[in-house]
Amino acid sequence: MLQTIFKKQYQVESLVIKYLEAIEMAQENFALALETCLMDDKACGDFSFLSDETHRFESQADDVREEIKTLMYDKVLLPESRGDIMRLLDGIDYVPRYMEIVLNILKTQMLVIPDFLIPDIRELVAASLEACALMRWQVEDLFKRKGRIKELLAVIDLKESQCDKIERRLISAIFESDLDGFQKLQLKELVIFLGDISDQVDTISKQINIMSLKRRV
């Protein structure tokens, strides 16, 4: 019986890694799609393709999440552990969702990012993706118990603060510019959703820390 439980727990961990890999692919395609937009024109074929790929990997992650849910509720983990892991996956799911929203804003609103905002947008995206990579390490640490969760928590917190500063700088630059009022509101919305990525990673990081502390009790 114990051997069966351990085997299923290992399957859950393997599926969580598979889930994170799909999320990572969604993030990579998001970054490429946004960069395509910044370099050239969102109307080009590459942007649509990469935007669709972002959605495809986000959907793939959803499928893996359902697999995990089915496996966990097949008496593989204690009820409190199941609840913690599902809340964790639900939280992570917001990260690619915010990325999809950003790409949809660019696509459906035909939004053009002015040149003077591009360096800060690139910096915000880079810092947000670094936070996402740290989050993945933290989730893996939770299962493999490498003891780096608090250390990663501190780094993610710093990364989130960095993103907040860039976000505020961008919004100030938007409203100090000569852009028309409607375009200012469109760009503000875009920047806020970009900022939500690191905010969500920070929330997940704190959640992982609590899960780790509960395991020590």
- What digits encode the pLDDT tens for the residues 6-49? 566 778 888 888 999 999 999 999 999 999 888 865 555 688 88
Q: Is residue 110 exposed (0-12), middle (13-18) or buried (19+ Cβ within 10 Å)?
A: exposed
The pLDDT of 82-87, averaged and rounded, is: 84
Where is pLDDT greater, at 196 or 61? 196
Contact 55, 100 (CB under 8 A): yes
pLDDT at position 211 over 80: yes
Report the percentage of the chain scoring pLDDT > 90: 56
The pLDDT of 148-164, averaged and rounded, is: 95
The pLDDT of 55-67, averaged and rounded, is: 88
The pLDDT of 147-170, averaged and rounded, is: 95
Q: Is residue 119 exposed (0-12), middle (13-18) or buried (19+ Cβ within 10 Å)?
A: exposed
pLDDT at position 80 over 70: no
Range of lowest pLDDT (43-47, 175-179, 185-189): 43-47
Tokens of 129: 């993706």
3 state DSSP class of 8: helix
**Residue 98: band (very low, low, confident or very high) from pLDDT cuts 50, 70, 90:** very high
Q: Compute the distance between CA of residue 10 and CA of residue 8 in angstroms, rounded to an integer.
A: 5
pLDDT at 22: 93
The pLDDT tens digits of the residues spanning 120-137 come to: 999 999 999 999 999 999
Residue 22 gets which letter from DSSP?
H
Q: Which single residue is written with the structure tokens 């999320």?
A: 23
